[in-house]
Every structure is written in structure tokens, then in C-alpha cells.
Chains A and B, each alone.
Chain A
Amino acid sequence: GESVGLHLPTLSVQEGDNSIINCAYSNSASDYFIWYKQESGKGPQFIIDIRSNMDKRQGQRVTVLLNKTVKHLSLQIAATQPGDSAVYFCAENSGYSTLTFGKGTMLLVSP
């Protein structure tokens, strides 16, 4: 979703639930996508990536889905934990080390 100023879209879940964070990207020519997690006071931390020749990729507790037809990415987090609380960004690669970031989604996990 869109963010305006300081207001990020927020997803609130209970510990143990599965979380799904969505992202729309802009450039149909982008061929590489990354999800980052950013905790307060820290830089973005790499979670998982996917190339455009794939539509799904799994990591530890995380899955990224890519739908190139509608230019949509999603990040699924299984069995969400309080330590997963952070802001999550999707990013598309626009060239060498040139990422275009989405506005971010705040994930709040309640124990």
C-alpha cells in the first residue's frame, strides 16, 4: 500500500500466525527483487531475494512470491515471532546496485 509522510501501512499479528506483506513494483523490466527488514536504529537487513525467472523462492520461515503479470511481490513469514517486528521493504533492482525501494510496511507481532 501507499505510505504518506510518517504513516506506514501496518500489519498487526499474533505470535505464531503467518504474516503476508505485499508490495507493488513499478518497472516491468526489473529482473531482481529483494526483501529487507529494518529494525529501529539499524540499517536494512537482507531477508530473501528472487530473480524474474522464478515465481517463488523459499528461505527459513520466509517465502517470496513474484507475479510479473501484475507487478506484485509478497513476503510470507511463517510462525511469526515478536522478533520479526520491524519495517519490511521490497526493492527492485534498477541497475548495478541501484535499488528502488517501496515505502515499507510495519509488522507488529504481539506475544
Chain B
Amino acid sequence: KAGVTQTPRYLIKTRGQQVTLSCSPISGHRSVSWYQQTPGQGLQFLFEYFSETQRNKGNFPGRFSGRQFSNSRSEMNVSTLELGDSALYLCASSRAGPNEKLFFGSGTQLSVL
């Protein structure tokens, strides 16, 4: 069974640009969540999608958005990039219910110059 797949693996952007990251969950998993990881703040929850609907949202500005497609694949978008957005962005998938194990992809390393 394939794991969570994230593309691209690395991205370099400049301030003010926007970026779209992609995530394919484990087959059969209907929930996809996104996390930001930085050395200073650690792992922080961005948002979670289930059945194409955002079910939970973390404390991030509106520049961070996402969506989920009918096949459970998800994308996240960051607009008007800032230097502080440089981070490892991790996608995790799980079955639909509460208290389900989250399985993470390897992440997309975003560098904003």
C-alpha cells in the first residue's frame, strides 16, 4: 500500500509569489490534514479536510488555504509569500473517524527568498 505522497519535494520561491503544494493520501483514507514545521515553532496544525470540506483550521492567516478533491487528494496554497513561510509542509492522512492514526508524507521543503 503506497504511503502519503507529497509533491514537489523542494520549492524555492521569492517574496510575494504564491505556491501550491499537493498531497495524495493513502488509499482509503478520507481525511487529509496539513502541518507546518519550522525549527522555531515546531509542528503546527494548518487545516484538515474531509469529504472536500474544511473541518478544522489552525491559527494561520488567510494567505494559507487548501482544498480537497473528490478522490481525497488535497492541495494547499500560500499566497503573497513571506520569508517566514519558509518551512517543511507536511501532509497527513487518516481514516475519517476521531482518534485515528495520522500517517505523514515526507513533506515539501519550501524556501522563500
A-side residues, CB < 8 A to B, are 3, 5-6, 31-32, 34, 36, 41-46, 49, 51, 89, 91, 93-104
Residues of the B chain whose Cβ atoms lie less than 8 Å from the Cβ of A32: 98-99
Give the residue name and chain of the A residue nearest to B6 (CB).
Answer: A43
Give the residue name and chain of the A residue nearest to B97 (CB).
Answer: A96
Residues of the A chain whose Cβ atoms lie less than 8 Å from the Cβ of B92: 43, 97
Report B53 CB to chain A, min CB distance, Å.
Answer: 11
Residues of the B chain whose Cβ atoms lie less than 8 Å from the Cβ of A44: 43, 90, 104
Q: Count residues on chain B whose CB falls below 8 Å from chain A CBs.
A: 29
A and B contact pairs by CB, cutoff 8 A, 25 listed = A3-B42, A6-B40, A36-B104, A41-B106, A42-B106, A42-B107, A43-B105, A43-B106, A43-B107, A49-B101, A89-B43, A95-B98, A96-B48, A96-B97, A96-B98, A97-B33, A97-B94, A97-B100, A98-B45, A98-B58, A99-B35, A99-B45, A99-B102, A101-B43, A101-B44
B-side residues, CB < 8 A to A, are 4, 31, 33, 35, 39-40, 42-45, 48, 50, 55-56, 58, 90, 92, 94, 97-107
Report A103 CB to chain B, min CB distance, Å.
Answer: 5
Report B90 CB to chain A, min CB distance, Å.
Answer: 5
B48–A46 touching, CB < 8 Å: no
A46–B101 touching, CB < 8 Å: yes
Q: How far is the CA of A31 from the CA of B90 in the complex (A)?
A: 23
A104–B42 touching, CB < 8 Å: yes
